[in-house]
Amino acid sequence: MSATSVLNSGAVIGGMLASKLADRSGPQRMVATTFVLAAIPLALMTIAFPLPVLFIVIAIAGGGTLGTQVLIYGFTSNYYTTKHVPPAWPGAPAAWAGSSAHSSAGGAWPPTWEVPPRSTSSVPWPCSVRS
């Protein structure tokens, strides 16, 4: 069993539990609570626990991070109805929520392509054509 599968399993179970509780207490309150509760296992992952305990901590972190992101998609799609967005764009609010989450986490911005090192020659970029 890998840490990735434990994280994703925690996200699935945590997302289902959080969505059930969000139906009772409201999605805004549940999203805020689970994100705050996700900070605790993320901080605990820096401690050298035995592997079973570490997997439990990773599963809780998955429910608080990835599972809550799925809860945000549902909240966004319910909040932004056709009075907010044109009917031709039904998935736009959820797409904006997802892209802003990924970009704030550093997944989409800044770009990760490599910039070539500066050349010390008079030609700004290395080239194979000689004069």
| DSSP codes of every residue in 17-31 | HHHHHHHHH-HHHHH
Contact 9, 60 (CB under 8 A): no
pTM of the prediction?
Answer: 0.65
| pLDDT tens, position by position, 28-76 | 888 888 888 889 998 998 888 899 999 999 999 998 888 888 888 878 8
How many other C-beta atoms can be found within 10 angstroms of the C-beta atom of residue 18? 23
Contact 8, 66 (CB under 8 A): yes
